[in-house]
């Protein structure tokens, strides 16, 4: 079965070539013959990353046929928990009859998120949009009978929210994709380069479609681990994306050709290596909707994890898994709503802030204003009566509980008159000023933050 339809043979597209199409055609069909710079490794330029660094919170959406029976997304058949035909049969139950993309966009906006990333296609190969590269898509195969990606993109584009498209490089359903089940492969990419090339043309063709239709602000690739950068033609894919929209951000799952690091689920204790990073995390234990999974994190846990991320200069990409009918589970609606009330009260400490103090000065996360003259301390209820700060050389001009209008009086303890070592700064947050999850103390400093990092005594 031939799955690849070269873009240039599609006369409908051909007659409407925009600059964007031409870029794609050049990069897909011409660049491979003239070669590409081999060292095009992730070099995120700061100006294009500016919105991402300020955005802090993104909402990840895993929506696919796996929501029908509530299996794990794609992995269910790959890991042989469910036979492949049974897994794929879920498509017959994907109706999306209550799907309301405007509601989704409103909820995302309400959470305070500044970007969103939606699974256009997961490892199972089922496209949410009406791809012309094959027929395995929601519009072609499911009773929903419609493209469910475009209306979401349109709803998001009406907001001040950046659009990210998740695209799985892996396609375990495609007859020309080498890997299939965990213990069986169709063939080896290195041994049948013609067949592998057919798959590459297919996937790059899908990317061309996505690029043409949505021009996302961010591409979130996944599954790069199954092939090398060379096999994926990662350099070419990156170049093609940037040629059509130079500011596009690419996540770090393109075999070294992305712009930022994407630790998954496991919280980093020390700061990831790349300057830009984003923790992607589920609200319960699964990416997609699973009716059996009730292990939701509490709003407090989500908020404290979020505060921890931004305190270390990263973003949180928090996942939701809508049901097959298009509704969002109540627990996730609740988490996003609570998160939204919290982000609203503490906007100043979150958006546009930079990483706070290194560990050791304060028992909790902190952020700084970009000029480092305002320090924000994130304080849980249990710590609110006994907040203290070590090694602050600055004078505190004012202290307040953010979003409450309540001022605080710092108490300096243990300052020795003849020593340059600063004293400890204590605060008490009055009960009336405490946020039910995490309060934020804003300290206005006399000048940019200066910290004493010595070992005490005469040091
Ligand atoms: C993993 C999984 C995938 C999930 C993704 C989200 O790479 O393969 O199922 O979509 O992480 O980060």
Q: What is the per-residue pLDDT across 139-190, written as a single tens digit (0 to 9) for each?
A: 999 999 999 999 999 999 999 999 999 999 999 999 999 999 999 999 999 9
| Ligand 1 mutation target, pool 60, 125, 220, 287, most atoms within 8 A of CB | 287
Domain ranges of the chain: 19-345, 354-445
Q: What is the per-residue pLDDT across 353-369, written as a single tens digit (0 to 9) for each?
A: 999 999 999 999 999 99
Residue 58 sits at the vertex; the CA angle it makes with 67 and 66, to the nearest 5 degrees, is: 10
CB 86 within 8 A of CB 132: no
Q: What spacing in Å lies between the alpha carbon of 67 and ligand 1's midpoint?
A: 15
Q: What spacing in Å lies between the alpha carbon of 398 and ligand 1's midpoint?
A: 45
Give the nearest ligand 1 atom to 222 CA: 7
**Whose C-alpha lies nearest to ligand 1, atom 10?**
287
Q: What spacing in Å lies between the alpha carbon of 222 and ligand 1's midpoint?
A: 7
Q: What is the per-residue pLDDT across 261-308, written as a single tens digit (0 to 9) for each?
A: 999 999 888 888 889 999 999 999 999 999 999 999 999 999 999 999
Rounded-to-integer distance, Cα 250 and Cα 227, Å: 18
pLDDT at 404 over 60: yes
**Whose C-alpha lies nearest to ligand 1, atom 9?**
73
Q: What is the pLDDT of residue 44?
A: 59
Range 19-345: architecture per CATH: Alpha-Beta Barrel (3.20)
Using alpha carbons, select from 132, 174, 128 the residue that is nearest to residue 147. 128
Q: Please compute the mean of the pLDDT values over residues 365-393 and round it to a whole number.
A: 95
Q: What is the per-residue pLDDT across 297-351, written as a single tens digit (0 to 9) for each?
A: 999 999 999 999 999 999 999 999 999 999 999 999 999 999 999 999 999 999 9
**Whose C-alpha lies nearest to ligand 1, atom 5?**
222
CB 207 within 8 A of CB 133: no
Rounded-to-integer distance, Cα 159 and Cα 162, Å: 8
Pairing status of strand 374-380 against strand 438-445: antiparallel
Q: What is the pLDDT of residue 43?
A: 55
Q: What is the pLDDT of residue 34?
A: 34
Q: Is 73 in the pocket of ligand 1 (CB under 6 A)?
A: yes
The whole-model pTM stands at 0.90
Q: What is the pLDDT of residue 352?
A: 86
Instruction: Compute and round to an integer the Cα radius of gyration of the chain.
Output: 25
Q: pLDDT confidence of 397, banded at 50, 70, 90?
A: very high
Q: What is the pLDDT of residue 23?
A: 41
Strand order in the sheet with 374-380: 354-355, 366-368, 374-380, 438-445, 396-401, 406-407
Q: What spacing in Å lies between the alpha carbon of 357 and ligand 1's midpoint?
A: 31
Give the nearest ligand 1 atom to 122 CA: 10
| Ligand 1 mutation target, pool 179, 264, 283, most atoms within 8 A of CB | 264
Q: What is the pLDDT of residue 295?
A: 98
| Fold of the domain spanning 354-445 | Immunoglobulin-like (2.60.40)
Using alpha carbons, select from 5, 323, 10 the residue that is nearest to residue 135. 5
pLDDT at 226 over 90: yes
Q: What is the per-residue pLDDT across 9-65, written as a single tens digit (0 to 9) for each?
A: 222 222 233 444 444 444 444 443 333 333 335 555 789 999 999 999 999 999 999
Q: Is 280 in the pocket of ligand 1 (CB under 6 A)?
A: yes
């Amino acid at each position: 079965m031939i799955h690849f339809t070269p873009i240039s043979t599609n006369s409908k597209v051909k007659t409407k070539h925009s600059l964007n199409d031409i870029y794609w055609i050049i990069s897909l069909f011409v660049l491979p013959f003239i070669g590409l710079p081999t060292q095009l490794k992730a070099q995120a330029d700061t100006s294009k990353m500016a919105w991402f660094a300020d955005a802090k919170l993104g909402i990840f959406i895993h929506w696919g046929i796996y929501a029908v029976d509530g299996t794990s997304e794609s992995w269910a058949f790959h890991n042989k928990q469910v036979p492949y035909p049974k897994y794929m049969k879920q498509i017959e139950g994907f109706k999306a009859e209550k799907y309301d993309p405007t509601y989704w966009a409103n909820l995302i906006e309400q959470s305070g998120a500044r970007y969103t990333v939606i699974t256009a296609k997961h490892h199972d190969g089922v496209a949410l949009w009406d791809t012309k590269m094959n027929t395995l898509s929601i519009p072609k195969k499911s009773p929903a009978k419609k493209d469910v990606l475009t209306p979401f993109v349109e709803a998001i584009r009406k907001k001040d929210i950046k659009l990210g498209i998740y695209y799985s490089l892996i396609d375990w359903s495609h007859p020309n994709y080498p890997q299939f089940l965990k213990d069986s492969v169709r063939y080896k990419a290195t041994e049948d380069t013609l067949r592998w090339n057919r798959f590459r043309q297919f996937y790059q063709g899908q990317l061309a479609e996505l690029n043409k239709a949505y021009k996302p602000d961010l591409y979130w690739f996944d599954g790069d681990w199954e092939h090398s950068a060379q096999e994926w033609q990662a350099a070419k894919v990156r170049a093609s994306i940037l040629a059509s929209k130079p500011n596009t951000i690419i996540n770090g799952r393109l075999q070294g050709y992305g712009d930022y690091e994407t630790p998954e689920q496991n919280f980093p204790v020390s700061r990831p290596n790349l300057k830009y990073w984003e923790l992607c995390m589920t609200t319960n234990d699964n990416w997609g909707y699973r009716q059996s999974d009730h292990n939701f994190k509490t709003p407090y846990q989500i908020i404290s994890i979020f505060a921890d991320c931004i305190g270390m200069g990263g973003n949180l990409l928090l996942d939701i898994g809508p049901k097959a009918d298009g509704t969002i589970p109540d627990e996730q609606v609740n988490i996003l709503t609570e998160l939204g009330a919290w982000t609203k009260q503490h906007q100043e400490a979150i958006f546009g802030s930079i990483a706070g103090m290194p560990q050791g000065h304060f028992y909790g996360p902190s952020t700084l204003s970009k000029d480092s003259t305002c320090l924000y301390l994130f304080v849980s209820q249990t710590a609110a009566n006994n907040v203290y700060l070590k090694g602050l050389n600055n004078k505190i001009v004012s202290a307040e509980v953010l979003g409450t209008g309540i001022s605080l009086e710092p108490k300096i303890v243990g300052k020795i008159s003849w020593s340059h070592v600063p004293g400890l700064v204590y605060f008490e947050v009055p009960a009336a000023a405490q946020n039910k999850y995490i309060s934020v103390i804003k300290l206005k400093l006399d000048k940019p933050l200066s910290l004493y990092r010595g070992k005490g005594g005469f040091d």
